[in-house]
Each structure stands twice: as C-alpha cells, then as structure tokens.
Structure 1
C-alpha cells in the first residue's frame, strides 16, 4: 500500500475533491460538494461516489459523525504533487526533470517573475 501512495495519479475532479479536503479536513460530503461546486456543478451523488472510490484507494479516510460521513485526506498536497510530477517527468520527459523545465521555458509557460523566483530557489539550494 505504501508503494501505491507514492504513485498517485488523480483526475482533475479527484484533485478538486482532494483540494477541498486539504482546505477543510474532516468535511462532510455536503461540504465537499459545496466546495467543488464553486468550479463544477456536479450532483451530490457523483461527489459521494468519488469520495467512496478515493477511500477505497486509501487516499481518504471516512468517519461517521452521527448520520453524516466525514472525510479527511490521508495524503498531503505536497505528496500528491510529488507523485504526479514524478510520473509526468518519468512518462513524458523520459525521467529528465530538466527537460520539463526546459519545455516550460521554451513554451513561455514561465514568465520573468517566475523565472526570478526559480533563480532564487536555485541559489538557496546551492548554499
């Protein structure tokens, strides 16, 4: 199971649900629905089904609070990002992280402000 948690791939909708849980841990299904509806008008049952699937995958934990189910993410946002970026680098850039950065710079996906922030991070990393 630990290996599965290091290799997490989520759809946009699953990510939206996880983001709702990262912002407000121990959310009821209704609270998750309301958070996700800000960007996507989906049925309560759709979100409930996806929460159940995420729980079966071991990505969220569910607890009963009276008549309501409360969900909590078991992985942090940084763990999910690390896993998904690692998968992207592995599959699309043949394991070469600098190829990803090079692509972003060449395609002008990174503006000057972001480039400066990256330079600053690199300088801190070198020290």
Structure 2
C-alpha cells in the first residue's frame, strides 16, 4: 500500500482501534477489546465487528493463530492523518489550507508558542508542530 494515495476516512471508534494496532504492531481481538473496554467500555463483540469492517476496507489484515485472530494495520497513522485532514480541508474549507489555519488561530486551537514552531516549520526547520 505504500506510495498509493487512498481515501481513508475513519470514525472515532475505528481510529481508537487503529491506535491500539499502531502501538502494538499486532494484537488479537481480545487484546484490542481489553484496551478499548478499559478506555471506552466497549464490548468484545463491538470490537470484533469494528475489526471485521476495517479488514473489509483493507486497512487491517488478520492471521489466524489457533482459535484467535490477530490483526495488524496495513496503513500507517500518518497515511490516515493525511487522508482525513485532506478530506476535512476539501469538504469544509474548499481546499484552502490558509482558511483552515486561520480558523484554528481564530478558535484559539493554536497557542502563541505553537505559532512560533509553525513559522519555523514553514521556513524549513525540523520542529514538529
């Protein structure tokens, strides 16, 4: 999948599942369910359904080990972020990145120190925002 440009829009719960897989590399349905039960109160059956749907979409793949399914992500977190931000940018701001940044500044989602780091980043620095 590397190098392919894909639309990857995920719900909040799907993102939570993916975060577990990104952190662990690979996890069984039960392991993902344990994490999400503790974090969000999700039941094992809900997590299993989410994983099955993500597999059908091609963003995770599974392998069977005895009686357990183990899943791993087939897309990276940066790929999902890029895709989802691009979709947000296009749908809400007509593709105008400056309008998005202006909105974030106006809504105080970006603090003064963040703006300094963003300026350095725009000038080619290595600072991560």
Relative to the length of structure 1, the TM-score reads 0.91
The answer to whether the Cα contact below 8 Å between 1:5 and 1:59 also exists between their aligned partners in 2 is no
> How do 1:1-127 residues align onto structure 2 when only pairs under 5 Å count?
6-124=6-124
Q: Whole-Å Cα distance in 1 between the matches of residues 60 and 19 of structure 2?
A: 12
Deviation >4 Å, runs of 4+: none
Deviation track 1:63-117 (CA, whole Å, cap 9, x = no partner) reads 0011110000000000000000000000000011111001000111111121121
Deviation track 1:18-60 (CA, whole Å, cap 9, x = no partner) reads 0000001120011111222232001100000110000011110
Q: How many residues align?
A: 124
Q: Tell me: higher relative CO, structure 1 or 2? Use CA pairs within 8 A at least 6 residues apart.
A: 1
Structure 2 unmatched runs, 5+: none
Q: Whole-Å Cα distance in 1 between the matches of residues 87 and 118 of structure 2?
A: 21
Q: What is the alpha-carbon root mean square deviation over aligned residues?
A: 1.8
Instruction: Using the TM superposition, name which of 99-108 and 116-125 deviates more.
Output: 116-125
Instruction: Using the TM superposition, name which of 89-98 and 36-45 deviates more.
Output: 36-45
Structure 1 unmatched runs, 5+: none
Q: Whole-Å Cα distance in 2 between the matches of residues 96 and 36 of structure 1?
A: 36
